C-alpha cells in the first residue's frame, strides 16, 4: 500500500492492473533513480550467492559494474552447507570433494579469489547458526566489559584474505 501511495497510484483498486501498467511503462534506469531519490539513498548493497543457480550465471557471463549497486559475496552454502553444495564448486572447475580433503582448501581459496575479482564485493558474509559459539571477553576490551560482551578473537591467519583492489599479478 505504501508503495502504491508513494507513486500516486490508487490503493483502493479492485486489482493491480493500473499499478502494473504504471510500472511496465517506466524506464528501468529512470525508475531506479526515482526510487533512490524517494528513499534518500545513493547506493545499495546486496548479497550475491555464487552458488545460486539463478545468480551465478549472471556473474559468470560478465555483468557490468554499476556504481549504485554494490555486491557482497555470500558464503553460507560453502561454510554451512558444504555437503549439499561442494558439487557446484566442482561444476565450476574447482577440484574439491565431499570431505573437503586434499586440495579442497586451496581450491576454495582460489574460488574466493576468482569470485572477488569477478564481483568486487564490499565484503564477504555468512549467517552463523544460532548456536554458533562465541567466546566471552577479549583482550581488546576493558576489564569491566569482558564479562558481558562477546566478540570473536583475532586471528593471525590471512590465508584467504584478498584485496580485490590490488591488480592480480
**Residue bearing cell 561444476:** 91
**Residue bearing cell 584467504:** 160
Q: What is the predicted pLDDT for the residue at 63?
A: 85
**Span 14-36, average pLDDT:** 93
Q: What is the predicted pLDDT for the residue at 135?
A: 60
Helix (H) or strand (E) holding 144: none
Strands 124-125 and 69-74, bridge-based pairing:
parallel
Residue 113 and residue 69 in one domain? yes
Q: Which residues contact 89 (CB under 8 A, 6 or more apart)?
A: 51, 78, 96, 107, 108, 111
Give the separation between CA 42 and CA 68, rounded to whole angstroms. 6
Residue 125 and residue 47 in one domain? yes
Residue 47 and residue 21 in one domain? no
User: Has residue 136 got a pLDDT over 70?
Assistant: no
Give the separation between CA 86 and CA 40, rounded to whole angstroms. 41
Residue 51 and residue 113 in one domain? yes
Range of the domain at 27: 1-42
> How confident is the model over 54-96, as pLDDT tens digits?
999 999 998 888 889 999 999 999 988 999 999 999 999 999 9
Residue 118: closest CA among 159, 59, 48: 59
Residue 124 and residue 47 in one domain? yes
Q: How confident is the model at residue 138 (pLDDT cuts 50, 70, 90)?
A: low
pTM of the predicted model, to two decimals?
0.67
Q: State the chain's mean pLDDT as an integer.
A: 81
Amino acid at each position: 500500500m505504501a508503495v502504491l501511495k508513494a507513486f500516486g497510484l490508487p490503493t483502493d483498486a479492485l486489482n493491480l492492473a493500473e499499478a502494473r501498467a504504471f510500472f511496465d511503462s517506466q524506464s528501468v534506469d529512470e525508475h531506479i533513480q526515482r526510487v533512490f531519490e524517494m528513499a534518500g539513498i545513493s547506493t545499495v548493497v546486496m548479497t550475491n550467492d555464487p552458488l545460486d543457480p539463478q545468480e551465478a550465471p549472471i556473474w559468470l557471463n560478465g555483468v557490468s559494474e554499476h556504481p549504485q549497486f554494490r555486491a557482497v559475496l555470500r558464503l553460507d552454502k560453502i561454510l554451512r552447507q558444504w555437503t549439499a553444495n561442494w558439487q557446484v564448486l566442482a561444476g565450476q572447475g574447482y577440484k574439491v570433494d565431499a570431505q573437503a580433503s586434499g586440495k579442497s582448501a586451496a581450491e576454495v581459496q582460489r574460488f574466493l579469489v576468482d569470485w572477488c575479482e569477478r564481483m568486487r564485493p564490499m565484503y564477504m558474509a555468512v549467517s552463523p547458526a544460532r548456536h554458533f559459539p562465541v567466546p566471552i571477553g577479549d583482550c581488546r576490551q576493558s576489564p569491566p566489559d569482558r564479562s558481558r560482551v562477546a566478540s570473536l578473537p583475532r586471528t593471525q591467519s590471512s590465508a584467504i584474505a584478498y584485496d580485490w583492489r590490488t591488480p592480480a599479478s
